[in-house]
Amino acid sequence: MGILGTGPASAASGTPPTPAKGPSLSEEEKYWTADRMDNAVPADAAPVPAAARHGVNAQQTAVAHRPPPSGTPAPEHFAGHKTVGTFFFDGTPLGGPKTYCTGSVVHTAAKDIVLTAGHCGIGLQGATHRMFVPMYRSGRSAAEQPYGVFPVAQMYLDARYSKNTKAPASDLDLTFAQVDANSHGKVEGVTGALTFTPTSSYHHEVTVIGHPGSGVVNPGHTPVRCPVSTSQLPGFRQLRMTCKGFYGGVSRGPWIEEYDSTTDTGKVVGNTGGYNDANDAWVTCAPVYGKDAQDLFDHAAPDQTHTDAEPRHP
């Protein structure tokens, strides 16, 4: 497997590590105003004018091309959980729209790893201003968020993954972000963590959590959750579920088995992403965490020095 990220340089290159450079916590807190975050667009949706996002056309923008079958569940809007939050990053190229997607803290000894999807990771990797906000609250600046914000230090992606694809590479749509501590400490110490759990099965009882876009369909950018049964997406190593209301922004959110809403714990067996099918908003997919996912996790989990990186081929 080829791993691409801002991790240690390849031992074969002979190049000594170079410290990564990026905005500090205080710089990110100043940069990410409430307006910048509120006006960010989902990383899994084409940018639309602000008037459409917040006006009468927003509902038409978000609805599915086909109506869901009778009996398809609807998600519950809820206050959110500390272990699940929102990544914000500036557009690529610079000057592009500010963007967001969902992420979830997963347990590691280093206590600084957040799981998201590969197509979010590609955007984060190319961004200058990038941070993770646990339990994001709309209308508040970065400095006013309930658990603070955590600047992204480096990304770990599978080099074979291609963004927004319907090809087999969509099975690799996951990535890990290593984030810096804030004044409260390391992210896992502040929020707790879910357990990253590889599996060979396609059949699970899970709760899927995400942060859909704001506007008419979701005023206040409130998170949603949906308890569902999963099956296999035919022809792919991916889970499939059906639930209404999973519009732009939910991508990268965790699929949690043995979910405990009281303790914010559970086993993450997938993350929203995978096969890029924009036709049915009520059908959602997630890569199955097999050997490739485990290898990527094993590479990201150790407490590593932040460095500029080259592709790695373990």
Number of continuous H segments (helices) and E segments (strands) in the chain: 7, 17
What is the CATH topology of the domain spanning 20-45+61-300? Answer: Thrombin, subunit H (2.40.10)
Q: Which helix (H) or strand (E) holds 239?
A: strand 238-242
| pLDDT for the residue 223 | 86
pLDDT of 41 strictly over 60: yes
Indicate the burial class of 287 (C-beta count within 10 angstroms; 0-12, 13-18, 19 or more).
Answer: buried
Least-confidence region, from 209-218, 243-252, 257-266, 301-310: 301-310
3-25 pLDDT tens trace = 555 443 222 223 333 335 689 99
Q: What percent of the chain has pLDDT over 70?
A: 75
102-131 pLDDT tens trace = 999 999 999 999 999 998 999 999 899 999
pTM of the model: 0.84
Q: CA torsion, points 233, 236, 238, 239, in degrees to nearest 10? A: 20
Mean pLDDT in the chain? 81
Of residues 187 and 164, more confidently modeled: 187
| pLDDT for the residue 49 | 39
Residues 6 or more apart in contact with residue 312 via CB below 8 angstroms = 2, 3, 4, 5, 7, 8, 10, 299
Question: Minimal CA–CA distance to 264: which of 75, 78, 83?
Answer: 83
* For the chain, the helix, strand and coil percentages under 3-state DSSP, each to the nearest 5: 20, 30, 55
Of residues 56 and 157, more confidently modeled: 157
Neighbours of 244 (CB within 10 A): 17
Contact 197, 239 (CB under 8 A): no
Residues 97-102 have a mean pLDDT of: 84
Rg (CA), the chain: 18
Residues 272-277 have a mean pLDDT of: 80
The full set of domain ranges for the chain reads 20-45+61-300
- Of the ranges 24-28, 64-68, 307-311, the best mean pLDDT one: 24-28
| pLDDT for the residue 154 | 95
